Copies of this chain bind each other. A is one copy, B any other.
Amino acid sequence: MVAGSSRTLSDQLFKQLQQAIVRGDIPANTRLSETSLASQYGVSRGPLREAIHRLEGRRLVVRTPHSGTRVVSLNHEELIHIYQVREVLEGLACRLAAKNMTEDQVADMYTLLDEHSQQVDFREGVAYFQAEGDLDFHYRIVMASGNQRLIDNLCGELYHLVRMYRYQTSTSPRRPEKAFREHRQIVDALADRDSEMAELLMRRHIRTARLRLERMHTPANNNKEYSESGAVL
């Protein structure tokens, strides 16, 4: 038991397993054996079962009675569905953030944009940095919304799933710059306290990503799980 010293074993296991799944250490569609995992983490089956049940609540694993639990594996359609939900939820987050953000938080957003503007120029490893930076960007706006339920939905569930399924946007290498400009527009709207515009821009920003996903839909990769790779926004 090395990291994440929570109060109870179940909490520790929950965090460890969640991190392992999101980071890809446990690949999608992997079967989670209770006995082997219990011995692997050096605990009994009781706390491990509870952790798995909580992962099920977060929709990170799927459980079938008497049969076993598997790490969630999204097909093309399910990923599109997630982006549809994400579009409206982040639109709401942006609208609320425009009202509730402090001036300091707005200033921090501009600082973040400056950091990203430097990274966009580097072609090496831009996918990874841009991906993490992008999630950071969205993360901050959601946190500033002040709506705890919205925060839980996005940061506690959807972002984990999105992080699992990042795609290389190989068809359009100029996408990072466009995404960056969109980010700038969004922050400008936040600074202006223009909540309507902020919601509209964020929805369009994510809708763009979804349409890109939909375009790479072929009968071949339908009903087929994706492998982890690059960034989409």
Contact = CB atoms under 8 A, between A and B. Distances in A.
B65 A57 contact: no
Interface in A51-102: 53-54, 56-59, 65-66, 78, 81-82, 84-85, 87-89, 91-92, 96
Contacts of A153: 85, 153
A46 B147 CA distance: 34
Interface in A107-160: 147-150, 152-153
Contact of A56 (B57, B78, B88, B148): B57
A153 B82 CA distance: 11
A92 B81 contact: no
Nearest to A146: B81
Given A53-B57, A85-B89, 17 more contacts: A7-B65, A8-B66, A11-B65, A50-B50, A53-B53, A54-B56, A54-B57, A57-B58, A81-B148, A81-B149, A81-B150, A82-B149, A84-B150, A87-B92, A88-B88, A88-B92, A153-B153
Interface of A: 7-8, 11, 46, 49-50, 53-54, 56-59, 65-66, 78, 81-82, 84-85, 87-89, 91-92, 96, 147-150, 152-153
